[in-house]
Amino acid sequence: MKKKVLTTIMAAVIAATALAGCGSGAQTGGGDDGAASANVPTEPFGDTVKYDPSVAINDGKDITVELWEWGSDELFQQVIDGYQAIHPNVTIKLVNNPWEDYWTKLPLALDGENGPAIFNVHNSYHENLINYLAPLDIPLEDLEADFTGVEAHVIDGKVYYIDYGMMTGSVYYNKDMWEAAGLTENDIPKTWDEMREVAKKLTIKDGDRLVQAGLNFNDDFHQNYLLGLNYQLGDNLFQEDGRTPNVNTDNMKKIMQMLVDMYEVDGVGSKDFGEKGADSFGQGQSAMVIQWGHYYNTLNTTWTDINFGVFEIPTFDGEPYAYNRYNGESTFGINKNAPAEQQAVAQDFVKYFLANDEAQIAFNMAMSTFPAKKSLADNEQVMQNPSLSILADHIDHYIWPGPMPSTMETSLKKAGQDVFFNGVDIDTALNEAQESIIRDMKSSTFESVESLYKYAK
């Protein structure tokens, strides 16, 4: 019997390893193959930030640096291949990391002398990384000329990283459900009142039982509504001092009340109808959700059966102070503790990345972010992505509040849960959130950059 079990397992191992071995062909080639096929530029390229490929790096001597990142190896390897094709003496070793634990390993490595010279940055970890970053060796005015939102990243006249793309929330709708409800493209709502009416039409009930939600914001209301719609009504998330939260205002109460009314008065959804709105939409249970740009990729990779469309977030009156909050996807960081010659390569690589339109488009398409590079705002390839093209008209009417501490999200999430699940009144819930954020931010160095918004009052 034991022999039989062992034999069966051995057979399973062989079969499984054979199957896994079949997949090895799917792996993309390493740096050499890519470098060979890359189109090697010889003339300077870029807008204001220009990259001159004729300038030798490290005096033409061989040098190896590491680039740490999370996400798609292919995406980063493409840029590396292009760079290495120009500078064959430079080897950039790509080190892929899982997103979650990257933030444990990276600060440990940066603390020593052997950390990566170049690394991927996410602005939510700004405070953990800023002390390890070297400022970019590119004139500030050049960066500002080419990219949106640079001024928000200036610290004492220096810039350590900027955004290559901007991500924000839009409305994703199920086209089949839309059609079944007798709606057409002309019914795309522009205001929240219209949105509520459309949501009612998309809602299907069997008696009192909800069968299809017109709109689902379960697990999303803090991220996609409370931390964004305030701008439509003219409120910043932080008061004038840039540190005191502004979350128990009349306008925030109005937004929370609208969410409560959508579920409890309009009946277009329910707090108990699917744990997460995003999953419920993917499972074909909900007709509309507001999600950030990354959801476009999720729908195309995981929820492939959903026939979806996307439109810009509605406003209260058609003339918002700003449409919504955005967050940037950041350019690479440069390790200030790395040896000088490695830092020089890193500086050069970042300049290459910023000047290279192909790389900028590839990164923005991969992340479904709107390009921060001004010259790419109407790029044909970018406009083919509906989650980006709908933002094009008003992209300058979105605000980045800065790398907010996570307490902003967690405190407002708790406030919403208290209102929906624990019977707490809106005033009390938002006052508690305000107090909680003030308490949590005592040790934070965060200061809002909302005052740098182009149309700031």
Partner 1 sequence: MSAGCRKGMVINMRRKIFGIVLNVILVVLGLVTVYPFIWMLFSSFKENKEIMALEQHLLPSAFTVDNYINMNARFNFMRFFANSLLVTIVVTLAVVYTSTLCGFVLSKYKFKGRNILFGFVLSTMMIPWCVTIIPKYSMIQSFGWLDSYKALIIPAMFSGFGIFNMKQHIATLPDEILEAARIDGANEFFIFHRIIFPMAKNGISSIAIFQFLWTWEDYLWPYLVINTKEKQLLAVGLKMFSGQYSTDYGALFAATAISIIPVLLIYIIFQKQFIAGVASAAVKG
CB of 286 to partner 1, least distance (A): 11
Q: How far is CA 202 from the centre of its chain?
A: 29
Q: Is 290 in contact with 283 (CB distance < 8 Å)?
A: no
CB of 75 to partner 1, least distance (A): 12
Task: Give the pairing of strands 50-51 and 158-159.
Answer: unpaired
CB of 121 to partner 1, least distance (A): 13
What is the C-alpha separation between 353 and 78, in angstroms, rounded? 11
Would you say 160 or 273 has its CB closer to partner 1?
273
CB of 446 to partner 1, least distance (A): 22
Would you say 27 or 54 has its CB closer to partner 1?
27
Would you say 214 or 293 has its CB closer to partner 1?
293
Q: State the DSSP code for 170.
A: E
CB of 374 to partner 1, least distance (A): 26
Would you say 183 or 367 has its CB closer to partner 1?
367
What is the C-alpha separation between 62 and 417, in angstroms, rounded? 57
Show Cβ contacts of residue 432 under 8 Å, excluding neighbours closer than 6 positions. 411, 414, 415, 418, 424
Would you say 21 or 157 has its CB closer to partner 1?
21
What is the C-alpha separation between 62 and 75, in angstroms, rounded? 24
Within 13 Å, how many C-alpha atoms sit on residue 139's CB side? 7
Q: State the DSSP code for 71.
A: S
CB of 266 to partner 1, least distance (A): 23
Would you say 112 or 157 has its CB closer to partner 1?
112
Q: Which positions touch partner 1 (CB under 8 A)? A: 2, 5-6, 9, 12-13, 16-17, 19-24, 26-27, 66, 70-71, 73, 93-101, 104-105, 108, 112, 114, 274, 279-280, 282-285, 294-295, 297-298, 301-305
Burial class (CB in 10 A: 0-12, 13-18, 19+), 411: buried
The four Cα atoms 431, 454, 158, 140 give a dihedral, to 10 degrees, of 170
CB of 85 to partner 1, least distance (A): 21
Would you say 189 or 274 has its CB closer to partner 1?
274
**CA nearest to 67, candidates 37, 19, 109:** 109
